[in-house]
Amino acid sequence: MLGLLQGFAAGLMLSISFFDLAHNALNSLGFLKGNLWFFAGVVFFGVVANFIPEPTLAPASSDKSRKKNGDGGGKDIMKKHRRQVLFSGIITAVGISLHNFPEGMAVFLGSIKGLRVGLNLALAIALHNIPEGVAVALPVYFATESKWQAFKLASLSGFAEPLGVIIVAYLFPSSLDPEILEGLLGSVGGVMAFLTLHEMLPLAFDYAGQKQSVKAVFFGMAFMSASLYFLSISLPEDMSL
């Protein structure tokens, strides 16, 4: 079940990356600039990933020591798996937090246009955020066995939206070029794609097998694509997310 949920979360992340962030960057900046920003994000986090220590097992000194320790090797493997799952949960939280910034901005700008638009958009985004919260909370709960830790990290990733409201209300109108903003969001898409393929998908394969995991990935992509569609039709015509 954990592997399937990891695959589902990977599908959510890939859908956000390719069909939302990268797609908007290509439409706004053109094919060349959009791709340059996207792959700049990929290269940036590819370099950063080299400095992130991956969970490793402490090598046993000999077979005799393994026998003396009984099931210690199995416990070490489980600890490694829990660290990997926790790391993937944190990665998901960071990626979804970055994705939530423009959603908060959209609610703010929609509310300026009118209360009905703002309320409809807020409701659509709230429903759209439920699977995102699940994608963050489940791996954290599996790794820590703490409902509070899972709730806390999922909630923190959601606070990116009100932060997006604050930023757009007080900073963006006077200090950030919309083209740079679109480029940065395209780079975020590249970062999310790299994280998903490098961390989450291999973990899903380990737990659920390739065939089942790939099905879960496409189900997650379809689910998020439908969510993004219903979110887009709730926006006014002269506004995009």
Q: Which tens digits make up the pLDDT trace of 140-175?
A: 888 888 889 889 888 888 888 888 788 777 765 555
Q: Per the domain annotation, does 181 fall within a domain?
A: yes
pLDDT the model gives residue 216: 92
Does position 109 have pLDDT exceeding 70, yes or no? no
195 vs 107: CA distance, rounded Å: 27
Q: Per the domain annotation, does 158 fall within a domain?
A: yes
pLDDT the model gives residue 40: 94
Q: Per the domain annotation, does 239 fall within a domain?
A: no
| pLDDT tens digits, one per residue of 48-66 | 777 755 543 333 334 444 4
Q: Per the domain annotation, does 199 fall within a domain?
A: yes
User: Residue 192's pLDDT band (boundaries 50, 70, 90)?
Assistant: confident
Q: Per the domain annotation, does 63 fall within a domain?
A: no
Q: What stretch of H or E contains 87?
A: helix 72-113
Task: Kindly state the average pLDDT of the residues 84-110.
Answer: 74
What is the extent of the structural domain holding 170?
Answer: 1-53+80-234
User: What is the total count of domains within the chain?
Assistant: 1
Please tell me what DSSP assigns to residue 35.
Answer: H
pLDDT the model gives residue 106: 66
Q: Per the domain annotation, does 89 fall within a domain?
A: yes
Q: What stretch of H or E contains 139?
A: helix 115-144
187 vs 214: CA distance, rounded Å: 25
